[in-house]
Amino acid sequence: MSCNTFGRLFRFTTFGESHGPAIGCVVDGCPPRIPLTETDIQPWLDRRRPGQSKFTTQRQEPDQVRILSGVFEGMTTGHPIALMIENVDQRSKDYGEIKDRFRPGHADLTYWLKYGIRDYRGGGRASARETALRVAAGAIARKVLGETVTIRGALVQMGPWTIDRAQWDWSAVDDNPFFCPDRQAAQAWEGHLMEVRKRGSSVGAVIEVVAEGVPPGLGEPVYGKLDAELASAMMGINAVKAVEIGAGFAAAALSGEENADSFRMDTGADGQRRVVFGSNNAGGILGGISTGQPIVVRFAVKPTSSILAPVPAVDLHGNEVEVSTRGRHDPCVGIRAVPVGEAMMACVLADQMLRRRAQTPDVPDSPILPRP
């Protein structure tokens, strides 16, 4: 089969290749009567757009989104919302030399082995350009979630350089070209990445995405767990090799006492008593279901595979060749994965929110947690 659709009830189907006439997606399942125009979507696309700093590819893709359906007089109608972005800066000639070659680290080889045909221009369907559509769908998902849910992402590691978590400042994220929450680290990273780029090399990254204000009860036993779906969503982003929730891999080395997030009752700003947690090693998820704590996900992006340094490879005739990429590429593709990770978080949560209310719309109030 083929699988270009994400989600179950809030769901989107993407199409398009890097160098075709357009890319687009169809968002199905969005509730009706939500105000929506292109201006709700465009700013998120602009954040992901390349060519915005010297650290991302200099391709100029305006990524102008257009709504083709599903919105009437500024409101969603409950029908499929089709979004289209025309491809503008294509330069197919750049890719002629890799027409017959399989680039290490890319999908070239596996697409060829699977399909026996391959649109080699710019990676075709495997291009990271497809992630623009996830960001677009994510913008609609944020509208479905409403303003009480906040989703933010940050780069917490670039290559071998990590942030100092004590310096975490969300307001710093949009002040540097790395989405880095540690201002000092961001400054150091400028030099590091400049040097990486000069060497014709590349580095990977670790991204953290945090969702706050998520109501408890999202996620489904036993094969639609919230953490399982987040893992799939993040691992499915181009170049991602690892995903963890809360304490993640570090949890393996903890003792049961260290890892347990204790419960206590507390009185909130609204005067209501509710359960609170002593820590959040669980990353906001227990038994696959949201607890009400912040959902915390981290994922690792491998270093950009397109590098100047020549790498041994083969061509489709079975000849051994060397591949060296001279084109316009990001020295750290992980940077632009930040808005994509946020978008996937939004889509997973919006989907689970609709799924929750299908089965359990009327769970009674509990002394440990008043319903909003």
Site for a copy of itself in 14-53 (CB under 8 A): 14-17, 20-24, 26, 28-33
Cα–Cα distance measured from residue 360 to residue 221, given in angstroms and rounded to the nearest whole number: 13
Residue closer to a copy of itself by CB (options 3, 171) is 3
Backbone angles phi, psi at 205, to 5 degrees: -165, 160
Binding mask 159-188 for a copy of itself (x = CB under 8 A): xx----------------------------
Please identify which residue in 98, 227, 345, 346 interacts with a copy of itself, judged by CB under 8 A. 227
Residue 208 dihedral angles phi and psi, to the nearest 5°: -115, 130
Among 51, 62, 213, 248, binds a copy of itself (CB under 8 A): 248
Q: Is the separation of the CB atoms in 316 and 218 below 8 Å?
A: no
Smallest gap from Cβ 284 to a copy of itself, in A, equals: 10
Smallest distance from a copy of itself to CB 5, Å:
6
User: Binding string, 97-136, against a copy of itself, x = CB under 8 A?
Assistant: -----x-xxxxxxxxxxxxxxxx----xxx---x------
- Contact between 156 and 166 under an 8 Å Cβ cutoff? The reply is no
Residue choice 171, 271, 358, 372 for contact with a copy of itself (CB under 8 A): 358
Per the DSSP assignment, residues forming a β-bridge with 16 are none
- Per CB under 8 A, contacts with a copy of itself among 285-314 are 285-292, 300-307, 309, 311-314
In the complex, the smallest distance separating the C-beta of residue 95 from a copy of itself, rounded to whole angstroms, is 12
Residue 205 vs 338, nearer CB to a copy of itself: 205
Residue of 132, 128, 15 lying closest to 64 (CA atoms): 132
How many residues lie near a copy of itself (CB under 8 A)?
Answer: 160
Taking a C-beta distance cutoff of 8 angstroms, is the pair 339, 47 a contact?
A: yes
> How many C-beta neighbours within 10 Å does residue 134 have?
26
269 binds a copy of itself (CB under 8 A): no
The distance of closest approach from Cβ of residue 372 to a copy of itself in the complex, given in angstroms and rounded to an integer, is 12
Instruction: Find out whether 238 and 230 touch, Cβ atoms under 8 Å.
Output: no
Both structure tokens of 58: 């200099």
Of the residues 243, 295, 338, 348, which one makes contact with a copy of itself according to CB under 8 A: 243
Closest contact distance (angstroms) between CB of 62 and a copy of itself is 18
Pairing state between β 295-301 and 289-290: unpaired
Hey, which residues between 195 and 224 contact a copy of itself (CB under 8 A)?
196, 201-206, 216-217, 219-224
Backbone φ and ψ for 25, nearest 5 degrees, come out as -150, 160
What type of residue is 238? N
Q: By CB under 8 A, name the one of 47, 183, 225, 328 that touches a copy of itself.
A: 225
Q: Using omega within 30 degrees of 0 as the cis cutoff, is the peptide bond preceding 196 cis?
A: no
CB crowding 162-201: b at 16 or more within 10 Å, else e: ebeeeeeeeebbeebbbbbbbeebbeebeebbeebbeeee
Q: How far is the CB of 176 from a copy of itself (least distance, A)?
A: 18
| Region 55-94 residues binding a copy of itself, contact defined as CB under 8 A | 66, 68-70, 72, 75-82
